Amino acid sequence: MKKILGVLTQNFSLYYDLVEALNRKGIPFVSCSFNEAIPSDVGVIITSRQEASKIDFGKVIKAEDFLSVDRSVESALQLVSKEESKELLVGIDPGDTLGVAIFSGSTLLEKIALPFSEKNIAELKEIINNYMPQKTLIKIGNGASYQRNFLVRRLRQPSWSIVLVDETNTSTPGLRREKDKDAALLIALKQGKPIEDYLSSKPTAGELQFIQKKSRVKSKNSITISKNLAERVSSGEISLEEAIKRQERQDKSIFRDSC
């Protein structure tokens, strides 16, 4: 029987924060009561530090022992999935919003959506590392080429394997953020190919023009990055935001020199 998380607290504020985090991450859970037996499919209980001593259960997480509610949830997930697998499987749907699905064995640990940014990619790495897996297999959709390449470069590390997956038939109907999460789940379940098959190819003129257009949109029509910078964005060497900053500095330097 697959185990799920149980939330057991009379602290309304904590309960609200836990439920919000669990729903946001797409994690199945059950609300428990002090007046009833804990269901047999519950593997870990999350509660408050004050109430923990009243709970007679093998695995209990005290939310206040962690820096945030999200971290307490991740620790609980790590406990509940610890015996099933030492390897994490992470599916990522790249784009302006990153859809992410994380599995341990056959158990879906969480589904999240994050705006594409260097800061959020660092946060994603922290989320994965918090599970302390021995091995991690990351499957990234082959669309959104410049975001995809940037992800690959930032997520490469010795104990993580990365493959790229054909995104065909991974789109689902629904709200944007939910579609990104569901696409990530489907990407995680598909076969992948070595990243070198994709990263060795050069960007087309159309792809570079698209990146330049994105720079204008991102800068509210004040900046158009050069072809050279667009090529570096395309390869994943720098982010679009960094390219815009560099182009802005170059433009200001040219303006000063002309005065």
- Among 23-27, 108-112, 219-223, top mean pLDDT goes to 219-223
C-alpha dist (Å) from residue 137 to 70, 112, 192: 22, 17, 10
Query: Tell me: the pLDDT tens digits for 65-110?
Result: 887 898 889 888 877 766 555 788 999 999 999 999 998 877 788 8
* pLDDT at 215 (0 to 100): 94
Whether 4-81 shares its CATH topology with 87-199 is answered no
Let me know if 98 is exposed, middle or buried by CB neighbors in 10 A (0-12, 13-18, 19+).
buried
Integer Cα distance of 114 and 128 in angstroms: 14
User: Angle at the Cα of 176 (from 172 to 179), degrees rounded to 5?
Assistant: 30
Q: Where are the alpha helices (DSSP H) in 103-175?
A: 118-130, 145-155
pLDDT at 3: 83
- State residue 127's pLDDT score: 84
User: Which residue stretches of the chain are H helix?
Assistant: 12-25, 69-81, 118-130, 145-155, 176-188, 196-199, 205-218, 227-234, 240-258
d(CA 3, CA 168): 32
**Quick one: what percent of the chain has pLDDT higher than 90?**
56
Residue 101: φ, ψ to 5°:
-130, 130
CB atoms within 10 A of CB 159: 9
CB 189 within 8 A of CB 91: yes
The domain defined by 4-81 folds into: Rossmann fold (3.40.50)
What residue segments make up the domains of the chain, in order of their start? 4-81, 87-199, 205-258
pTM higher than 0.75, yes or no? no
Please check the confidence at residue 254 and state whether its pLDDT lies above 60.
Answer: yes
State the fold for domain 87-199.
Nucleotidyltransferase; domain 5 (3.30.420)
Task: Supply the pLDDT for residue 164.
Answer: 92
- Tell me how far apart the terminal alpha carbons of the chain are, to the nearest angstrom: 74
Structure tokens at 203: 């960007």
